[in-house]
Amino acid sequence: MPIHYEDVGDHVVRITIDRPEAKNSLDLYHFRDLANAWRRFNDDTEAWVAIVTGVGRNFMSGADLKTYIPQITALQSQIVDGNVTEIDGCQLRDGTDAVLRSLRIYKPIIAAVNGPCVAGGMEMLGGVDIRVATEHATFGVMEPKRGLFAGGGTTVRLPRQVSFPAAMEFLLTAEAFPAARALELGLLNEIVAEDDLQARAEEWARRITVNAPLAVQATKESVLRGLALDQKAAFKLEAEFAGKIFQTEDAKEGPKAFAEKRPPQWKGR
């Protein structure tokens, strides 16, 4: 199974892309499997945080250009002509769901970047909240170098996540940037030694899972949805989330645990 979904404990799961023979590029079926892994995480009530990574010294390099284009073209033709919604379990939306563009997940996601993160890898990184990388990881929006267009969310998300000049440096040069430059431009949270990557990603995850899951998810949702609104509407949305969270059982447990000087026991309700 080239896409692994693993419970690593403490409400944390790891999604691993395992296709090193193709530098973790994905064909139609692997996009389907990655999309399904994200859907599983979204529906898994026991999973509060996900870590996404790749095997070896590969993270994700986007679509396998040798196979994906003819596969997706054939799929589009069959769906249109045959009046069906999927073929072999594959849907047209799998590609954008796999890179977290069309799938709305408000649980936190951490990227443990252990190699090239380019093209579709950069698209997916834009849908991730915390980014940890090794020194040898590289980052790039490579599509223009191939005469293609980064249509998986990068041209929209990147200018909202780093400074405008930094975003345009990535987007217009279509160059691969070393991890040190990506950190300097604000794309990453930190760079760690290769041997420490997975442990460090899990540390980040557990820094999040000590908090109330509903409050964390509402916070992320308020941020992401608020970015698409004017300030007045965003404040209104924020107030709605606050009203809902203050009515939860966890909102009672948190202050009670604080007063009793003990760790809170979150119920997620």
Which residue ranges form the domains of the chain, and what is each CATH number?
3-209 (3.90.226.10), 213-259 (1.10.12.10)
Q: Is the dihedral of CA 223, 187, 201, 59 positive or negative?
A: positive
> For the packed helices 231-245 and 213-226, what is the interaxial angle rounded to 10 degrees?
170
CA distances to 97, 100, 115, 221 from 31, in Å: 8, 11, 19, 25
What pLDDT was estimated at residue 80?
63
Candidate list 6, 123, 175, 240, residue with the active-site label: 123
202 catalytic per annotation: no
Helix-helix angle 213-226:249-259, to 10 degrees: 120
Say if residues 28 and 90 touch (Cβ distance below 8 Å). yes
pLDDT of res. 260: 94
| Mean pLDDT split into 10-residue runs, the chain, 269 residues | 91 95 88 95 97 94 80 73 69 89 95 95 96 96 89 93 96 95 97 97 98 97 95 97 96 95 93
Is residue 143 part of the annotated active site? The answer reads yes
Residue-level pLDDT at 82: 57
For residue 215, the model assigns a pLDDT of: 98
List, in order, residues 6 or more apart from 196 with CB less than 8 Å away.
none
Contact 260, 37 (CB under 8 A): no
Q: Which of 6, 46, 135, 143 is catalytic?
A: 143
